[in-house]
Amino acid sequence: MFLVPGDERFYPAGAIASQLVGYTNIDDQGQGGLELEFNHWLRGRDGRMEVIQNGRGQTVRVVRILSRPKPGRMLRTSLDLRLQYLAYRALRNEISKERARSGSVVVVNPQSGEILAMASFPSFNPNNRATFIPAHMRARAATDMFEPGSSFKPFTISAALASGRYEPWSLVNTGNGVFRVGDYTIRDDADWGVINLTTLLEKSSNVGAAKIALSLPRHYLWQAYHDFGFGQTTGTGFPGESPGLLHRWFEWPPAGHAAIAYGYGVSVTALQLARAYSVIADGGIRRPLTFLDLIHPPRGRRVIPARLARTLRTMLETVVSPAGTGFRAQIPYYRVAGKTGTARLFLHGHYSRRVYNSVFAGMAPAGHSRFVVIVI
């Protein structure tokens, strides 16, 4: 019996941040998450020397040093482990309570694009390879696409307001809550009648959103969505990050032109949704997202006027009011703005009536947001 000294990665956060941080193989090569993305930075380099060994393979003399070892470099991330723990714990508890299959949470600083937390569940313990299950090892917030449902409506309303044809108090007739576009039927949860655009968001009217989208040119609407970052990666460089799916406007059938208004026929990731809501939260500026602690955040690019972003935040505050669909997201003594979304999953050639994604996208404080939070 003998001992062989060696080093091994240990992850103090364990399952709380495992998909995000990633893991290494037995040769200390990054195999996932930030370990893989920044493997070239963290890895270091072995030294080399010329030695004389005896018949047992033991070194008896060092002849010369050929190259000295180089340690891996320090990587300072933007992650706040306190927020990461709280996000993971809340996600795990709610998934257990609601008997959901999986979930993700993303927390972003909209003023810099820094990602403060990104949790997924189910998870795995990177310190115990026996627990590695492939389905639990992917960072769902970055890799998994989904139809965002009504959480996409603010971007339709943004396009409408930017067109100059609508104001927050402009009226749209939702009729009896049923609207047909060709062979496609769009329904609301209730008969809202004639409502303004603010109430449309507060009550989450599919019919109202569809009618507004159909009144806008398809190429104009596509450009508005694209400006918010949909159909593109977020700039993190995270391994396996999906760009989502935003079909070109000339590929939209009439029903698709209507359905995209309330988040069907478009696929996004939680990271994409976080960046898009960060545009609203930070006065109309779109920045790349990052996992690095930034000294000087990028200036970003203005995609909507600051006044429009401010108007959208005020409209989204009504969603978390007692009369809104997101009333449970209220926080005492804080102004919160956000939007709920529910999207049925497309399974076996049709939309399921029983299996769906629930989404909440929010920001706080609404007046000068420090956090954008996406929960799926």
Six token digits for residue 224? 């508005």
126, 169, 189 from 11: Cα distances, Å: 7, 53, 47
| 150 labelled catalytic | yes
Higher pLDDT, 226 or 41: 226
Q: What is the pLDDT of residue 5?
A: 65
Half-sphere exposure of 349 (CA within 13 A, CB side): 0
Catalytic residue among 150, 151, 204, 369: 150
Whether the per-residue pLDDT at 210 is higher than 60: the answer is yes
> What residue has token string 């939007």?
339
Interatomic CA distance for residues 22 and 71, integer angstroms: 20
Asked whether 207 and 186 are in contact (CB, 8 A), the reply is: yes
Q: What is the pLDDT of residue 153?
A: 98
Reply yes or no: is the peptide bond before residue 298 cis, omega within 30 of 0.
no
Whether the per-residue pLDDT at 4 is higher than 70: the answer is no
Q: What is the pLDDT of residue 23?
A: 87
Q: Cβ–Cβ contacts within 10 Å for residue 74, how many?
A: 7
Interatomic CA distance for residues 66 and 122, integer angstroms: 47
Higher pLDDT, 56 or 305: 305
Higher pLDDT, 179 or 14: 179
Asked whether 140 and 120 are in contact (CB, 8 A), the reply is: yes
Of the candidate ranges 49-63, 220-234, 326-340, the one whose mean pLDDT is the lowest: 49-63
Fold of 85-375: Beta-lactamase (3.40.710)
Sign of CA dihedral 272, 273, 279, 281: negative
Q: How confident is the model at residue 6 (pLDDT cuts 50, 70, 90)?
A: low
Higher pLDDT, 70 or 149: 149
Interatomic CA distance for residues 369 and 270, integer angstroms: 18
Q: Reduced to 3 states, what is the DSSP secondary structure of residue 83?
A: helix
Q: What is the pLDDT of residue 376?
A: 94
Six token digits for residue 370? 């420090």
Six token digits for residue 225? 């969505």
Opening angle at CA 119, ends 372 and 246, nearest 5 = 65
Of the candidate ranges 104-118, 125-139, 145-159, 187-201, the one whose mean pLDDT is the lowest: 125-139
> What residue has token string 């047909």?
180
> CATH 3.40.710.10: which residues of the chain?
85-375
Asked whether 172 and 195 are in contact (CB, 8 A), the reply is: yes
